[in-house]
Structure 1
């Protein structure tokens, strides 16, 4: 995947730590309003507890993905001028950031779709769409703020749906173990299920038991995988799965992930905790 579609915090002015609000919950240790710097943000715009986020009560931060919007807004849109040294730019910068995040997310999915062998029939359309959205990300801050992102997403989603169909085509007509229910699956027991080519677009898979499930070539765009158990599951070849979604789930060393995604460190920590101490 293009590195410009991955967060590079060293080139960002901590925008997700300032622009976005959050409420005290299981995901965040305290309340924070939009435009207010998180108390963990340091003077160099880096997180002071980055390697202890889960332990400190900030699991929500570990499952957020800007898709490179942070560095693009910081370095391109505002030419390296930060909100702290230039407070007159702060509000506009914070307004632009979530819009840029959506544009970058669209680019992420389009790029993934274009790199799939199954989508060759629509490769030219995907390429055109990528250039279109990339051009939108290069607009001025005032122009970006005026964009109708919902309309852009609608058009791009139509193309992503076609890409999804092409990827899943060989499995679309197979027997569906879910009996058509693929949206609200909170806490569902799907251990060992054959879910190849399933359509989980926007599905609620919170705390779903997917141990040893076969999810190859499933569409997981926007699926909520918080605390879903992917231990031993096979996600190779699935489409539109992001690192943030993987980070929000549970898994183990036997979970098979797409090539471009990495095994979260907290999966390995869980394994270490479960390991019995040696007996002398």
Structure 2
């Protein structure tokens, strides 16, 4: 995704922290526009195979329709977040030499990018957990996890491709879950557990979901308008087309920009300070 694409998706600058985990498209070789596949759907106006440049990608790695992505049928581009993996792969792992300059590296570069994207997503969650004052008891474990994942993301292409992402996610998730439980314990009363629940289209307008576990919950097109989601754990929750108008997401745990960009909200939606209000709201 080019810098313009990123700006189009989230024009309001969030708090200036975690710079290495935010997309710096000016220092990326348009990797998400080439490495990843997409199928013709409501999110994409055409089919594209992995390793094939998007028809809208220009020679300078910029998007030719960045200001009209949604109007042109490429809403999926506006909700993607690489968590800074693009510049990491482009400038660090491959030393600033693009796949156009050295075509023989292209296949390996495109294989490495999604792995590093997974690693950087994990680093985002770990960084957020380290910011939680209530998670101090697991801070040493979080710091060890961060060191390990950072080291893997800085490896050679061969080392990165050898990473067992599934096993690593399971390992890091254990300490993230502990951090979440410690943070949500501050919310009084019984907290709802909707972990992995199918809540597609659920009517949850005005619901009290403070401190709830919505980990991996399917919330596609759910009505969460005016819902109280303060300190809810939203890691992996599918919020595509979820109605967040007037909802309070202050302090929501492990919420990402990509999740917000996929949902519907308005000026009354309250957000964590680390995230930006999407332009299409």
TM-score (norm 2): 0.92
Cα distance in 1 between the residues matched to 2:213 and 2:191:
13
Q: How many residues align?
A: 265
1:229 to 225, 238, 243: 243
User: Unaligned 5+ residue runs, structure 2?
Assistant: 1-16
Larger Rg over CA atoms? 1
Matched, 1:202 2:216: yes
1:147 corresponds in structure 2 to 163
C-alpha distance 181-66 of structure 1, shift in aligned 2 (>3 A): closer
CA deviations 1:97-120 (Å, max 9, x no partner) are 010000000000000000111111
Matched, 1:157 2:181: no
| Contact 1:216–1:237, Cα closer than 8 Å, also in 2 | yes
Shift of 1:172: 7.7
User: Unaligned 5+ residue runs, structure 1?
Assistant: 268-280
Cα distance in 2 between the residues matched to 1:117 and 1:168:
11
Shift of 1:171: 3.8
1:74 corresponds in structure 2 to 90
Aligned pairs for 1:1-280 (under 5 A) are: 1-171=17-187, 174=190, 176=192, 183-267=197-281
| Contact 1:54–1:62, Cα closer than 8 Å, also in 2 | yes
Shift of 1:182: 5.8
The CA RMSD measured in Å over matched residues stands at 1.3
Cα distance in 2 between the residues matched to 1:172 and 1:197:
9
TM-score (norm 1): 0.92
| Contact 1:77–1:140, Cα closer than 8 Å, also in 2 | yes
SS of 1:266's partner is: coil
Shift of 1:175: 5.8
| Contact 2:195–2:217, Cα closer than 8 Å, also in 1 | no
Between 42-51 and 234-243, the greater mean CA deviation after superposition: 42-51
CA deviations 1:225-265 (Å, max 9, x no partner) are 01101000000011000011001110111000001111111
